[in-house]
Structure 1
């Protein structure tokens, strides 16, 4: 790719600027990286754009007031089948990074929809073993078009079709009760989902769950007792203010004899 030089301002979702900064500082052609607002990062670029093109953590870019076609949204992400409630592409990248997926791990999205989060995981860790589950057959149809050789199953997040302790990572955008589901429905759904996570997660497993129904999720985790929230990240985009919760197992103390 041709070399460029200039001042770039990259826009990401509010709450993800630190992740974008971390990736930019690892790029050969990028220097003088700094955060200029809650969701914007400025940097100087002098060199090839290859690494910047591959970075999926920003949604738009301004370059000395001019557009760089190679950095356009469609050029970087390509055409994707979407539904109105599909996960924001940059948000999916944030969730994937919080999940800390390692090569060869089994990653499950129990509300996979059109497969946005699974695509993000595959982009970052190509050797991860992916499984998408959703109750909506139309969403699964679209996910199959987005993912090559997908492992997709029609099913319920409350009754995952996987064995006990067999899943390394669960990454999901839960129904908020706005575009999908309802707050009333979530009162039963969230506790059932957390119970399933406790059943299927491996000993060193981790779950990353995004929701705006925050009290319900925290209450469900506290009641289950086998899992705990170890990290929270508030995100803001398109009028939504969900929090990404990172869950791990509670370490059991060895029984004294």
Structure 2
């Protein structure tokens, strides 16, 4: 695989010490490639060497450093430790040398977490019920003490073909990183956390931001924004009191209960002063699980009008919806007030919503 551009520095020879390198890979939602790559390079700089891939929704790389540092990535679904085996068939993995290598990598991942974190494992592989792979699972269980399960286990082991043989991928965490621990209240239609992270990252967070999350639902955008940077003030508003209760629970679990004002407001009639907000965001109803197209035809224009009123000059706004035609029609009527800077098409849960990033123009209504 050919190397992508990555930042490189010449180490100080007097203090440089040998460091271990690991082949890794992340899964991410299609459409977030640039966001994921930016997070890796920003966080790890010269420790990361990115490589190209033909597999959609993945990004392989070499890490020179500590594996546990990857456990705090916010834009990815999961991170894996990858090991290449130059063997023609999976049967060869049962050979002494290859099997020892596999077990060594499993134990390396287990040591990243407190004892008892991993109790089960699951082999994700084509033909996992074949005689050879059944025996491989038996041997892994015998050597590790992990119980083999037929569904998602604590330790996920994947086996797939590679260019020169086969490779194993061991997930570095007992659950996907996209499954946030703070989500104690899972509201219907809640936004995927990695998408929320990407949306708020692209608003260029600053500690002086006054953030308003319109139709905040269970608070996903608010939590992901506060994970990035402190704010001067943050407000989440929704007409549904059940959603606000859910948001309060999630914010409390994330440690942000006292940093956000949650208000039962109509997004089309905000009790805020003109030009008082510099960041707005919303996970708009798609008109499927939540709301309807008819309701959205009424909601979207009111939300856009009110956002335009309360936004300061140069304010940033991030919106996501599957009602692409409707939103773009409405945005076009506000082109004198908002500049559309970027659109991301994201593939998530069998749908392809679009994220819109707009900046308020200086001209007032």
- By how many angstroms is 1:128 displaced? 4.4
**C-alpha distance 31-109 of structure 1, shift in aligned 2 (>3 A):** same
Larger Rg: 2
Partner of 1:143: 247
Alpha-carbon distance, 1:118 to partner: 0.4
Q: Structure with the greater relative contact order (CA < 8 A, sep ≥ 6): 1 or 2?
A: 1
Structure 2 residues without counterparts, runs of 5 or longer: 1-18, 83-168, 252-256
The whole-number CA distance in structure 2 between the counterparts of 1:59 and 1:13 is 7
Q: 1:72 to 1:8 in 2, by over 3 A?
A: farther
Change beyond 3 A, Cα 1:43–1:67: same
Report the TM-score, using the length of structure 1 for normalisation: 0.89
Counterpart CA distance in 1 for 2:191 and 2:231 is 22
Superposition map of 1:146-225 within 5 A: 146-147=250-251, 148-149=257-258, 150-224=260-334, 225=336
Greater percentage in strand: 1
Secondary structure of 1:194's aligned partner: helix
The answer to whether the 8 A contact 2:346-2:354 is kept is yes
Distance of 2:75 and 2:178 partners within structure 1 = 14
Tell me which moved more, 72-81 or 128-137: 72-81
2:49 alignment counterpart: 32
Q: Distance in 1 between matches of 2:236 and 2:327?
A: 21
Find the residue that maps to 1:99 and give its secondary structure: coil
For the 8 Å contact 1:101–1:128, the answer to whether it is kept is no
The answer to whether residue 120 in structure 2 is matched with residue 16 in structure 1 is no
Query: In the alignment, does 2:124 pair up with 1:108?
Result: no
What is the DSSP-based 3-state SS (H/G/I as helix, E as strand, rest coil) of the residue aligned with 1:118?
A: helix
1:87 to 179, 184, 191: 191
Stretches of structure 1 lacking an aligned partner (at least 5 in a row): none
Correspondent of 2:236 among 117, 121, 132: 132
- CA offsets, 1:173-230, max 9 Å, x none? 1011011111111111111111001100001201111011111111112223322322
Provide Cα deviations, 1:22-75, integer angstroms capped at 9, x if missing partner: 121230574221342332111112322454222210012221222323x74369
TM-aligned CA distance change 1:50 to 1:6, over 3 Å: closer
The count of aligned residue pairs is 250
C-alpha deviation, 1:99, in angstroms: 1.2
* 1:4 Cα offset (Å): 6.6
Q: Secondary structure at the match of 2:51?
A: strand
Tell me, yes or no, if the aligned pair for 2:211 and 2:233 is still in contact at 8 Å.
yes
* Structure 2 contact 22–81 (Cα < 8 Å) conserved: yes
1:115, 1:143 within 8 Å by CA — same for their partners in 2? yes
What RMSD in Å do the two structures reach over aligned CA positions?
2.2
